[in-house]
Amino acid sequence: MRGEYKVAGGKLVAVDVEVEEDLLSSVTVSGDFFLEPDDALEDINAALTGMPTAADVAAYVSAIEAATPGVRFIGFSPESVGIAIRRALGHATSWSDHTFDIIHSTPLHPAMHVALDEVLPGELAAGRRGPTLVFWEWDSPLVVIGSFQSVRNEIDPEGLARHGMMVVRRVSGGGAMFMEAGNCITYSLIVPTSLVEGLSFERSYSFLDDWVLGALKSVGVDARYVPLNDIASDKGKIGGAAQKRFANGVTLHHVTMAYDMDADKMLQVLRIGREKLSDKGTRSANKRVDPMRSQTGMARADIIDALIAHFEGLHHTRRSDFTADELARAEELVRTKFLTPEWTYRVP
């Protein structure tokens, strides 16, 4: 069996394995990486041979590291070898193993998207839907706060009321998102956790963001990943990501990128917005935060089309839409969870 893993910003690692009685009876690691000294490759293969097929990535990494003290891994890592083994054995998957549904629907109530971020992972886990990329469109302004944020600390209630906005708490962690129709580009990527098998949270962010960096480059934005969860260019932060790994074997990864944001209004609504803007290099509140618009010169809809086209060029995809059942269950969650005080103010 053969498994491959392409390191983000690095090299391709391939592993050919043979299995006997639930053990790796033969292991051959190859790729376009660099290794010093080069005869350490034999030590890596020997360290892995005889290990159980049920071992996780961490166990394979420990075996490799124990056998290679002082060895320099250039363009790859013991972790990447472990992931390639898990893929060879069918425990981990790659992008090419999946067909992705792409949804860009008509505008919905803001809370519906947060609810769908809980519904769609359940659909994937149940086998009723494949991995899915959803671009959000919403019909009223809102602030989406992270699962663990304090409403009191994040939101100015007077500013919120003055601008007719609402607060919705999402299921993932991370920071607050100030969202008005047309001012940002938000998408959710729902994938089996097998796609990020063996990756730490930090590594999985960069892995799942890699496609959008290429997509942004195609529209003229030279973007890069900034740990833990930011996307930036040489002109400052563009957006941020949040992620949740569900117990049912599904990972939710969503990203919001600023298209054309009213910074003055945002600072009237978000209490800590001024400090965050200063940290990102923005000195004046009386301006618009418009990295996507100013750097591309493109309409928001055209950028979304370009992002979708780039994703379609990389992976097996099909256009889709929410089903009536998914929408009905999302509406129920909006009523019973996402618009209830108990959920919104669970961290007061």
Which residues are CB-contacts of 63 (< 8 A; sequence separation ≥ 6)?
47, 48, 51
Domain 2-92, second-level architecture:
2-Layer Sandwich (3.30)
Q: Are 31 and 76 in contact (CB under 8 A)?
A: yes
In the chain, where are the structural domains located?
2-92, 96-344
Pure H helices in 49-109: 57-67, 78-88
Separation of first and last alpha carbons in the chain: 52
Q: Please tell me whether residue 6 adopts helix, strand or coil conformation.
A: strand
* Torsion over CA: 135, 201, 227, 270 (sign): positive
What pLDDT, on the 0 to 100 scale, is given for residue 269? 94
Residues 346 and 150 sit within 8 Å (Cβ to Cβ): no
Q: Phi/psi at 338 (nearest 5 deg)? A: -75, -20
pTM of the predicted model, to two decimals? Answer: 0.88
* CB neighbours of residue 179 within 10 Å: 23
Ramachandran region, residue 281 (left: φ > 0; alpha: ψ -120 to 50; beta: rest):
left
Overall CATH class of domain 96-344: alpha beta
Per-residue HEC secondary structure of 292-325 comes to HHHHHCCCHHHHHHHHHHHHHHHCEEEECCCCHH
Q: pLDDT truncated to tens, each residue of the chain (348 aa)?
A: 999 999 888 999 999 999 999 999 999 999 999 999 999 999 999 999 999 999 999 999 999 999 999 999 999 999 999 999 999 999 999 999 999 999 999 999 999 999 999 999 999 999 999 999 999 999 999 999 999 999 999 999 999 999 999 999 999 999 999 999 999 999 999 999 999 998 888 889 999 999 999 999 999 999 999 988 999 988 888 999 999 999 999 999 999 999 998 888 999 999 875 555 555 444 444 456 778 999 999 999 999 999 999 999 999 999 999 999 999 999 999 999 999 999 999 999
